[in-house]
Structure 1
Amino acid sequence: MKKIISFFFVAALSIQAYATERAIKLTFIETSDVHGSFFPYDFTNRKPRPGSMARVSSYVKQLRKQHGGNIVLLDNGDILQGQPTSYFYNYVATNERNIAADVINYLGYDAETIGNHDIEPGHAVYDKWIKEVKCPVIACNVINKKTGKPYTHPYAVVKRNGVKIVVLGMLTPAIPNWLTENIWEGLQFEDMVTSARKWIKIIREKEQPDVVIGLFHSGREGGIKTKEYEEDASIVVAKQVPGFDVVMFGHDHTRYNQTLRNTAGKEVLCINPANNAMTVAQADISLTYKNGKLTDKQVKGTLVDVTDIEVDEDYMAHFKPQMAKVNNYVDRIIGNFQNSIYTRDSYFGSCVFTDFILNLQLQITKADIAFNAPLQFDASIKAGPVRVADMFNLYRFENQLYVMRLTGEEIRKHLEMSYDLWVNTMKSPDDHLLLLANTRDDAQRLGFKNFTFNFDSAAGIDYIVDVTKPDGHKVKILRMSNGQPFDEHKWYTVAINSYRGNGGGELLTKGAGIPKDSLAGRIIYRSPRDQRYYLMQEIEKMGTVAPKANNNWRFVPEKWTEPAAKRDSLLLFGHKRNPKEEK
């Protein structure tokens, strides 16, 4: 009898303990800056590629099999631009559902934010995409001017196994610095810290969540800073706005996984998977409840490399028709190049790749001068048939083509800032020519101190860049390339992309000294479609093309710069600049 009583006593205690204490583990997976990397195939270079959402799908399936419904899947924007896949569904197959929505829906995402490159295609594209995505699209600081309320959902509420989760979305407010207003007409972008404070208070009072996740399309730190906002403010928000358990961010294409302490003394995991679906950010949160009250919360962050994971064959079969359509589009031959061109040459002087674009800009617009920068670190177009796919190497982004009115002095100052970002001030022949830094792991800098897409050179003028001179005094414009004199007091027409024309990179504002609110008044032409479209048209008209460098500018003194260029080329690329030199 005593044994029976003892048994029931122990059982009762066990039942009571079970009733009063509960442990739950949740796993949050973030993708960010996917940039059209939906498949393990590079439609631009027509070859297999690592990563992709096909491998992310396999990983998520594996987690769901192991942990059931305790997986929360989040995407952090910049999904509508990158590969030709995105371009095709944004601008060509406009009557079909956007493939970026299909991918999000297939994988069963729980929430999606907006990236700056999702705004870039314009209202017609992103408004349609937002409607097609089945999960909440969230961005609390993107405000509808008419209503004064968020343009999309400010946050998403997700419930898992009795746990209430709130995911607050935000977008970098620097959009007006990159994109012309007609693209984001009717919207305004609030400072992230201000918006986060407001919405965290609302979330606490209205939702009373167990877990709060920040999903921010904004980088870690740096970027554009004004009196109104910071471009890259994810860490600032994590530290200054108490209430977040995890801040999952992106935009700057740089992996990051650190636990920081906010102003309230609480720990916040900050994690960024970088770009192109090569890595996912994983936050594992263990929760303990006693008598229904949350008593303990443990958070661990992991960056998971998915490049070696097998692709999801069911996913690939599902999207086979869309892949076939895109492949058919990009495989069309539009011309023929008699020689190969390489972006890597553009860092060391007047080069075929950059000059070909500059000359086409002048040909299309009839402007006096053109500016352009290398948009990819080390891309090439090989001699032979040129296909639509090659146009995505020739010009990476969907920028419009502008013509602006600038004075000769503004043109020189614009170039001064460009070369100050680009080249070192050499004090001896043993110094670096280029302004390098320990940024090999930074997908946007790749060994440079600054972004290469801000390294503008020019056509239409002849000039030298004296790298022994201090910043602001390196560029000397000799003449117009047609032999006419160059006058710093004269007005010129300048062909330029819309990113730069709207103030991107600050070369026109901080460099040339033009007030930001005066830029729009300087624009005398805006192309209706993206610049790549017009470059492609010109190549089709020409048929067979033999691109050549203009040789209208050079670094001096050449006794220093030429050996330094060879040394820096080996550091950056591990080989000589022109593959022909290796033979």
Structure 2
Amino acid sequence: MTTKEKTIDLKFIETSDVHGSFFPYDFINRKPKAGSLARVATYVNQLRSQHGENVILLDNGDILQGQPVNYYSNYVDTTSANIAAQVVNYLRYDAQTIGNHDVETGHRVYDKWVSATHCPILGANVIDTKTNKPYLKPYTILKRGGARITIIGLLTPAIPNWLGENLWSGLRFEEMVSSARQWMRVVKEQEKADIVIGLFHSGKDGGITTPHYKEDAALAVAREVPGFDVVFFGHDHTRYADAVTNSEGKLVACLDPANNAMSVAQADLQLVKKKGRWCVKESLWKLVDVADLPVDNDFVDHFSAFNETVKAYANRVIGTFENTISTRDSYFGNSAFNDLILNLELSITKADVAFNAPVSFDVAIKKGPVRVADMFNLYKYENQLFVMRLTGKEIRKALEMSYDLWVNTMTSPNDHLLLLDSQTRGDQQRLGFKNFSFNFDSAAGIDYEVDVTKPNGQKVKVLKMSNGEPFDENKYYKVAVNSYRANGGGELLTRGAGIAKDDLDDRIVWRSEFDLRHYLMEEIKRLGTLNPQPNTNWRFVPEQWTQEAAKRDRQLLFHD
């Protein structure tokens, strides 16, 4: 008679880039919302009813930013426990990794969140510069059925390319592959880990690449650092479920459920004991669509009072628009939407020039009462507002790079105006463009033309300052930009304008105390009624080509 082999069946569930999609209600657009952690809860509860503690629930960061529920909890009601911590505690997550948008909230917010969350928040490569040790827990060990399961958390090290040092003071962010290798040795040799799971807030591959690190290195770690049984990742908002072969010839499942809690990543591992150690006998993985699952009513009811408070806050009227504005117009020339932000930036800062890009792909604010909720469509992120000293030449060169990312070089009237890519239409970040549209800066304060028949680097011709004064490439101007751009985000000021990354900070002459959305909100309150119109200070030329091309590309992108 043979003894039946003892096994342990584990189910790992990952959420990532939830961005405040906790509840089945869109507080920004004031309507029901697909997905959300309220539906993830239903799925996880079903699994827990069947498999108990062998269901391991993980979150991969970017949970502190996105919806008014976050903004209210981060910056308005600063005395209560952060709503993200409350939700994670209610759902009994086993571990989390910190994300770049979590860091963006600043020490006061994320330190409080870390202390209020019952599960460990991981970041093996987030280093305290005073101690040279991880600022967060590098890993956590879970014990299930006698097996030691280790979760190692890593964060994309590109934080300094996007965020001012005031938000991450006292920290540094190490390269992911070397950090993973270091901590793999620790968990294997010292902790005697049976199973090792990666939980990485870093995309599949690509992104910012420097001599020192890659922004998106999840697959690189899976390939180059033996020992991981599964790598869960995120950050790039793109669904992925496949396996890579590591340097020892072992298959490693790599999973990314994308954003806003529309899907979860699931890895089912069956463990068996061999030579006194548990190892993986069978591994299955998939992405599970939770967009239309029933809502967990107990979860929603538990937070109903908070939700009503946030609804009242988000529905507060702060002004009136006399016409509807849309980001769609921003890709084809001057737009009332983008120019409203640019003009408010100039009004707030008294700068000479302002830069801004459409940070939401396709949103509109309708004619009539403007509410706090609309501000999250007007400006998606909690960037600060900065003023920098740039020469006229640096202004032009930054715009050259922006339009090189944005528009095609047309050789005939039948060409595309925009630089499109059919492969990215399902991509939640590029959305049909070859490059990220949040780097498509246009400017106010100067009049200029963009000749799309000219080669890259030669498209932009600045005609004059919009007040009628001459534009001087050798003169320094005060330029209003968001903090993402001022810190090198998108590389428009570094690779484009040619300013060394280390010199950017010296160019900043003013920093806002609060986020840009706060100032936009206050300016709209002050003005009361606004009639946003395009500035008509720049245009694509030759218009006999670009106007028809714009109509065709608009139909491709938006079907209108």
**TM-score class normalised by the smaller sequence:** over 0.9
TM-score normalised over the length of structure 1: 0.95
Give the match for residue 235 of structure 2.
251
* Matched residue SS, 1:156: strand
Q: Is the 8 A contact 1:280 1:305 kept in 2?
A: yes
Tell me the distance in 2 between the aligned counterparts of 1:341 and 1:63: 45
Q: Which of these two proteins has the greater Rg computed from alpha carbons?
A: 1
Match for 1:179 among 157, 163, 184?
163
Tell me the distance in 1 between the aligned counterparts of 2:402 and 2:164: 22
Tell me the distance in 1 between the aligned counterparts of 2:300 and 2:538: 48
Deviations 1:358-410 (A, max 9, x none): 00000010000000000000011000000000000011101110000000000
Tell me the distance in 2 between the aligned counterparts of 1:65 and 1:229: 43
Tell me the distance in 2 between the aligned counterparts of 1:143 and 1:295: 31
Q: Is the 8 A contact 2:16 2:235 kept in 1?
A: yes
Partner AA of 1:354 in structure 2: N
Tell me the distance in 2 between the aligned counterparts of 1:170 and 1:292: 30
* Matched residue SS, 1:532: helix
Matched, 1:429 2:413: yes
Give the match for residue 265 of structure 2.
281
Matched, 1:207 2:215: no
Tell me the distance in 2 between the aligned counterparts of 1:398 and 1:296: 43
Match for 1:495 among 467, 475, 480?
480
Match for 1:142 among 105, 126, 142?
126
Match for 1:530 among 515, 518, 521?
515
| Structure 1 residue runs without a partner (length 5+) | 1-12, 576-583
Tell me the distance in 2 between the aligned counterparts of 1:31 and 1:547: 39
Tell me the distance in 1 between the aligned counterparts of 2:265 and 2:426: 17
| Structure 2 residue runs without a partner (length 5+) | none
Partner AA of 2:509 in structure 1: I
Match for 2:554 among 566, 569, 574?
569
1:293/1:122 CA distance change after superposition, 3 Å: closer
Give the match for residue 240 of structure 1.
224
Match for 1:321 among 305, 316, 321?
305
Tell me the distance in 2 between the aligned counterparts of 1:572 and 1:371: 24
Match for 2:175 among 191, 194, 201?
191
Q: Is the 8 A contact 1:348 1:565 kept in 2?
A: yes
Q: Is the 8 A contact 2:195 2:278 kept in 1?
A: no
Deviation at 1:182, TM superposition (A): 1.1
Tell me the distance in 1 between the aligned counterparts of 2:126 and 2:390: 33
TM-score normalised over the length of structure 2: 0.99
Give the match for residue 79 of structure 1.
63
Partner AA of 1:156 in structure 2: T
Tell me the distance in 1 between the aligned counterparts of 2:428 and 2:279: 40
Deviation at 1:289, TM superposition (A): 2.4
Deviation at 1:194, TM superposition (A): 1.0
* Matched residue SS, 2:284: strand
Match for 2:524 among 508, 520, 539?
539
Partner AA of 1:442 in structure 2: D
Tell me the distance in 2 between the aligned counterparts of 1:538 and 1:85: 22
* Matched residue SS, 2:148: strand
Deviations 1:505-551 (A, max 9, x none): 00000000000000000000000000110111110011111011001
* Matched residue SS, 1:228: coil
Partner AA of 1:62 in structure 2: Q
Tell me the distance in 1 between the aligned counterparts of 2:481 and 2:405: 18
Question: What percentage of aligned pairs have identical amino acids?
Answer: 65
Q: Is the 8 A contact 2:406 2:437 kept in 1?
A: yes
Deviations 1:445-464 (A, max 9, x none): 11001111000000000001
Give the match for residue 200 of structure 2.
216
Tell me the distance in 1 between the aligned counterparts of 2:244 and 2:236: 19
Deviation at 1:73, TM superposition (A): 0.4
Give the match for residue 475 of structure 1.
460
> Structure 2 matches for 1:117-136, cutoff 5 A?
117-136=101-120
Partner AA of 1:230 in structure 2: K
Partner AA of 1:511 in structure 2: G
Aligned length: 559
